[in-house]
Amino acid sequence: MPMATFWKKKQFWGSLIAIALLAYCVKDLRFSELDEIYQRMELVFFIPALLLIFVFVVAKAVRWRVLLGQHRQIPLWHLVPMYSAGQILNIVMPALTGQVGRMFLFAKKGGMHKTFVASTIILETLYDAISLVVFLMLTSVAFVFPSNYRTLSILIGCGTAAALVILYLVLNYRLALEEFGKRRLRDR
């Protein structure tokens, strides 16, 4: 491989940037603190937690594959690394701008339209919100929430459910909605 093409490779510059960011992230790390944490850590809990994190990422990638199912089939072994890279963008970038980075990444690597990818990301976020609302409702059986928050929580839950249904219908009936819009707006 000629030396001139080596410096032009995206992998080289990406690796260099990744190493620089990793060095920045661990610059304040003290090995004495790491040793203390390691001494207190119980591997009986750490190893299953590590395995469950992997299962969690794969399950979320499968969920996203189901969202894409009617429009595009992407093999799972391609989707898991894409989803993991999108999650890293979410963690690194502040104030949900990682979702925008995920949208560009999925659109470029998956060969899909950005609007479609954005709608699946919104739908995925709504699924997470619904599961959180359901979890809060289940925990409210054991823990009493203040009465002044009860009405607001019901309204947020209903609004989230309505938005989830609307986005799901838009995803599944996109072509019919486009035709309906063309027929209605053709004269205007």
- In b/e form, how buried is each residue of 97-106, taking b as 16+ CB within 10 angstroms? ebbebbbebb
pLDDT in tens, 74-131: 777 777 887 787 777 777 777 777 777 778 877 787 777 888 888 888 888 878 887 8
Summary mean pLDDT of the chain: 78
Q: What number is the average pLDDT over the span 149-161?
A: 76
- Asked whether the predicted pLDDT for residue 145 surpasses 80, the reply is no
Of 93 and 19, more confident = 19
